[in-house]
Amino acid sequence: MTEGVLINKMTETGKSAGEMEEVTLIPNKAIDIKLEADVITPDSFAGKSAEEIGMLSVWQGPTTYPLSDFFEVLGNAGSSAAETLIRIKGDAMRIKRIGEGMSAGKIEIEGSAGMHVGTGMKGGEIVVYGDADSWAGMEMLGGLLHIKGNAGDHVGCAYRGKWHGMKGGCIIIEGSARHQLGGGMDGGEILVEGNVEGFCGIRQNGGLIVVKGGALRTVGVEMAGGTIVVGGKIQRFSPGFEFVSMENKVTSGETEIIGEFKKFTGDYAISKRAKGALYVSADANPEL
Amino acid sequence: MAGTIAIKNGYVFDPLNEINGEKMDIFIRDGKVVKELSSAEMKEAKVIDASGMTVMPGGVDSHSHVAGAKVNAGRSMRPEDHYKANLNKTALTHSGSGYTVPSVFKQGYDYAAMGYTTVFEAAVPPLEARHTHEEMRATPLLDMGGYLVLGNNFFLMRYIRNGDMEKAAAYVAWMMKTHKTYGIKCVNPAGVENWAWGKNVSDLDEANIHFEITPREVIKGLTEINETLGMPMPVHLHANNLGHPGCYAITKDSLKIPDGVKTRQNMDVEWAETKIDPLRDRSVYLTHLMFNSFAGTTWADCESGVKDIADYINNRDHVVIDSGCVPFGEATVMTGDGPAIHDLYTLTGNKWSNTDIEMECGSGVLPFNYLKSNPVHSLQWAMGLECLLLINDPWKTIMTTDSPNGGPFTKYPEVMTWIMSEAFRKQTFGECHKWANDRSALGGVNRELSLYDLAILTRANPAKTIGMAHRKGSLGEGADGDVTVYNLNPQQLDPNNYEALLRTFRKAEYTVKGGEIVAVKGEIVSLPEKRTYYSEVHVENEREKEMLADVKEWFRYYTLGFANYPTPEKYLANPTPIQVNGER
């Protein structure tokens, strides 16, 4: 979106929810088999001391270990999830399921996050300063997941075999994402500053996906509803879409995107009654 | 002593012995119910104090889909069914996962936790019998058996068309023995064969392609063969046109076909003591009546046709049904009725899998979600309950969800509570689409089944219907020591307090199998051995020889060799043949 301006009112949700107690997790060794650490949430930390938090168990392969085997835990949690801030000081690329199902509070990861960060999160905020591995924000229901680096496959997507992905909340990716972003999405918003690869918004039913950069192919295939905006070039455009009109602004809920767009609807390859809207930058895609 | 136990002071419900809430003790020695235990035996026996609790025979599910190719296809095509429902390994039990199509381990534990001890897989395709037995063998705790799918079998269709009934009977007898199966299943007679050409049959007198045989001829032939052989159970019939608006008419007409076929159950078994005649007297066992009872012409004007069929069944004595209730939520539809599942696929667009099983049958699998907000689904919920409440004689009905077609078996507690509590039905009516009330007769029903009725629907009648009453479904002397103790005082039973009923049925206080306590409050505490039942049907050697010559001749069309066709006994957990005398 070379000339486009993104006016996003969602970023205001990052505002502080009053006083927060901070728990710091400092990785203390290299991790070989990836950890399943769905206990790293403000919800399960709430009301616990550093020592109690260290005793929470995480899975590594077929065995459970206390969290303190992998992290130095500093500081006590707040009395509720909303009053708890978890700061991971270091790289968490080999730690899966951080913030899974969290309902409130905040997690800041000062490195990269492993697979499934923010899966099914209901509220609160996660900030990843590095990259996020695949399945970030899978089936997310609410809250804000802010990834400052790049993301892997399946951002905000449905679980394998499932038809419904993200239902609410917001995912912001400052870098690029890979395949199947927003697959089966029912609601909420995903904003990508960089590019995406294949199958962005596959089987989308609702919600908004904004990609400022370009996309490889199969954007919006099998979509039945919702909105996708692509600001850059789509390398290979899917055949199931029909041109509707030229637009100079896209409005979806509280989000407004200004720029010259070609509006398509579809995907008619599957259903004749599909209601998906696909906006494509006019400048970047002159041949469409 | 293993398998010796005394269950004291419970309120016992044992309909096969006409015991209705009597306060009494149940004694089990070496896995079998006995009149009493000697004082020496009592010293070593385990004792359960069931004071103020309900005691019933162990649950018997005569129709569930828990093993074999289509269940496994359901598991592999539904990863999403597994990631949220899972079970950790314990020192005693295996890990497991899955909600509508759980792994074999989880389903064994889940059934036992609810008080069930006996489950029959209702559709075994002959070529998949080995696989089915492998899964049944791996399912812990449950005594099991399977019904062989024979409604569209090449050999049978040829024999029946040519009127060669003796060979047909010899073939059925041989197939039961070969595949170690228990009874005859008939799915969409003559119609599934047409599915190989993308077609179906829609009328009882419509002949199918190539074989030129009609559903009427198949139903008549199979029900007659069943009685000639003296099989333990009636033909388990899944009628034509299933799941289509208006299908209730063909269902009713199908039920008329075996009217007058004289039942003959001829098994060499030791019969446990019962007060009621435990021999079956039904010539047809119609499966999942709900799916076969739509009236109307399209999904827009569809309504319940259960009342009409119930009236017919109320006036005749040769039919027993299971309900196929819909308790709402996730389900996985799986059946030998390939064309029916294809229709569902075109209706829903859900992912879909199907198979044509060579010369024997077909099948289809599709994930489904029954929603209270959906008019047709809410109607199906009401119809399923109508099946159990509009048929007056509980000995003509069996409670099922056709698990996992209407919903998984873990939803049985909901169904039990709906049939026992009008208040719970009213509450659900309030939550679901108005079609449930407008287009069914359920709203006008104030019948509430008693615990005695419930024991008939979930224990005594399934056992009697499938010919297992000689050891299951009762607490008479000589019966298997399978007992469910529910933490529910019948003296204080309040059907309006449906939350309490739901809690009671979800986790039995004790599940006892063969005199061993296997589950306490839903926790598995021991894993005794299990059995697999099958029918060993005896016919004259000459007939079998003639028939086998035909089978060998046609076996060149099979993809495997004749020697690899049978399922050896080693595939079965504790193979327990039931001798059936086809000759006498």
What's the confidence (pLDDT) of residue B584?
55
pLDDT on residue B189: 97
Cβ contact, residue pair B79, A160, below 8 Å: yes
**Residues B321-345: pLDDT tens digits?**
999 999 999 999 999 999 999 999 9
Question: Hey, are the CB atoms on A161 and B77 less than 8 Å from each other?
Answer: yes
pLDDT at B2: 86
Structure tokens at B250: 């063909």
Torsion angle, alpha carbons of B125, B128, B133, B136, to 10: -70
The CATH architecture assigned to B55-266+279-442+450-524 reads: Alpha-Beta Barrel (3.20)
Name the token pair of A263. Answer: 């509006």
Q: How far is CA A175 from CA A138, A152, A232, B397, in A?
A: 18, 10, 14, 62
The minimum CA-CA distance between B80 and chain A, rounded to whole Å, is 5
State residue B517's pLDDT score.
98
pLDDT score for A5 = 42
* Ramachandran angles phi, psi of B139, nearest 5°: -80, 120
Rounded CA separation B573/B146 (Å) = 13
Residues of A in contact with B349 (CB under 8 A): 270-271
On whether any CB of chain A is under 8 Å from the CB of B81, the answer is: yes
**Secondary element (H or E) of residue B412:** helix B412-420
How far apart CA B163 and CA B431 sit, in angstroms, is: 53
CB contact under 8 A, A160 and B81: no
Q: How far apart are CA B576 and CA B530, in angstroms?
A: 10
Are B482 and B115 in contact, with CB atoms under 8 Å apart? no
Compute the nearest-CA separation of A239 from chain B (Å).
20
Instruction: Report the SS3 class of residue A109.
Output: strand
| Eight-state DSSP code of residue B318 | S
Contact A56, A120 (CB under 8 A): no
Q: For residue B459, what is the DSSP state?
A: I
pLDDT at A221: 97
- Calpha distance B447→B422 (Å, rounded): 7
Q: What is residue A255's predicted lDDT score, i.e. its pLDDT? A: 84
Numbers of helices and strands, H then E, in chain B: 19, 27
**Six-digit token string for A57:** 């168990």
Of B80, B349, B351, the CB nearest to A159: B80
Show pLDDT as tens, one digit a residue, over chain A (288 residues). Answer: 333 444 444 444 444 556 899 999 999 999 999 999 999 999 999 999 999 999 999 999 989 999 999 999 999 999 999 999 999 999 999 999 999 999 999 999 999 999 999 999 999 999 999 999 999 999 999 999 999 999 999 999 999 999 999 999 999 999 999 999 999 999 999 999 999 999 999 999 999 999 999 999 999 999 999 999 999 999 999 999 999 999 999 988 888 899 999 999 999 998 899 999 999 999 999 998
Q: Which tokens sit at B466?
A: 């499938």
Contact B77 A159 (CB under 8 A): no
Q: Would you tell me which residues 107-166 of chain A have a C-beta closer than 8 angstroms to some C-beta of chain B?
A: 158-163
Structural contact between residues A164 and A206, judged by C-beta atoms closer than 8 angstroms? no
What local confidence, expressed as pLDDT, does residue A11 receive?
45
- In whole angstroms, give the CA distance from residue A242 to residue A238: 10
CA B135 distance to own-chain centroid? 17
Low-confidence stretches of chain B (pLDDT < 70) are 583-584
- Is the alpha carbon torsion for B50, B56, B58, B63 positive or negative? negative
Which pLDDT belongs to residue A7? Answer: 44
CA distance A62 to chain B (A): 10
Spatial contact of B132 and B69, defined as CB atoms under 8 Å apart? yes
What tokens were used for B467?
A: 């010919």
Min Cα distance A163 → chain B (Å) is: 9
- Specify the pLDDT at position A4: 41
Distance CA B529, CA B523 (A): 17
Cis (ω within 30 of 0) for the bond into B311? no
Contact of B95 with B89, CB cutoff 8 Å = yes
- What pLDDT shows up at residue A208? 97
- Give residue B573's pLDDT: 96
Q: Which residue in A has a C-alpha nearest to residue B75's C-alpha?
A: A161
